[in-house]
Structure 1
Amino acid sequence: MLIVMVVVIGGMMWWQSKKAKQQQAEKQDFRRNLQPGTEVITIGQVIGKVVEVDEQYEEIVIDSEGSKLRFAFNAIAREYTRPAYVSDDEVDENGNPLSEDQEAPAADEAGQVPVDAAVETTEADDAETKQNGETETK
């Protein structure tokens, strides 16, 4: 039983080591093959386009909205791909895309979408609110 446990643990350690080396090799290949114009993100979450790659000193220069920054190769996390974004104006209240014949409700100057139906309160609701100690806003 003890021998089986040692073999299983040894196998798991070997597999993890192999996987870590493979990931490290992939990152090194990515960093070595960076070309100017590639959009990248650093480990500090700085996003920019590669301007210059200096393999001798293992440095890279990226342009982030007009600011040129120099980083070590190890600071580049991955290639950046902008996530898909859907505006609230393009979906209904359930998050489903609006069809072309439907229109999104117009927002006011503050960006608030008006509520379709006004909420009316009754005297019973008012009394219940006062009993519960809640404040009423009008």
Structure 2
Amino acid sequence: MTNFSTVLLQAAQPQGGGLSMLIMMVLIIVVMYFFMIRPQQKKQKELAKFRSNLQKGDKIVTIGGIYGKIVDITEQYVTVDVGGDVRIKMDKSAILKDMSDAQTR
């Protein structure tokens, strides 16, 4: 029992590595920012720009996987024609990407 507690006490006491440990933590945070947080923020900005530039006639795909064509657009909502005289009114945030360049069958 004494050996185990001695090992725990030695592991809990830093021995001259305080500054290097701090530098290591800062480096990990910087790497996480550039590889994870920054690209995600860039992607969100591009998606917001895409949604604000939507126009009538654009072919889109929703988050739920519904393909359609925009027939009416307001500040917050879009009306999408999904075929067969079926129109769906949905929030702009549900639009995922533009399919104007995609091949149709």
Question: Per-residue CA shift, 1:108-135, capped at 9, x if unaligned?
Answer: xxxxxxxxxxxxxxxxxxxxxxxxxxxx
What pairs with 1:1-138 in structure 2 (closer than 5 Å)?
Answer: 1-15=20-34, 16-55=36-75, 58-65=76-83, 66-80=85-99, 81-83=101-103
* Cα distance in 1 between the residues matched to 2:68 and 2:52: 17
Structure 1-normalised TM-score?
0.54
- Structure number with the higher strand fraction is 2
Question: Per-residue CA shift, 1:12-71, capped at 9, x if unaligned?
Answer: 23222222111111101000100111100001111000111111xx11111011211011
In structure 2, the partner of 1:128 is none
- The ranges of structure 1 where at least 4 consecutive aligned residues each deviate by more than 2 angstroms after the TM superposition are 81-85
The one-letter code sitting in structure 1 at the alignment partner of 2:95 is I
- Mark the structure with the bigger radius of gyration: 1
**How many equivalent residue pairs?**
83
Structure 2-normalised TM-score?
0.69
Question: Per-residue CA shift, 1:73-121, capped at 9, x if unaligned?
Answer: 1110101243587xxxxxxxxxxxxxxxxxxxxxxxxxxxxxxxxxxxx
- Structure number with the higher helix fraction is 2
Structure 1 portions without partners, runs of 5+: 86-138
When the two chains are superposed, the root-mean-square deviation of aligned CA atoms in Å is 1.9
Instruction: Quote the offset at 1:4 in angstroms.
Output: 3.7
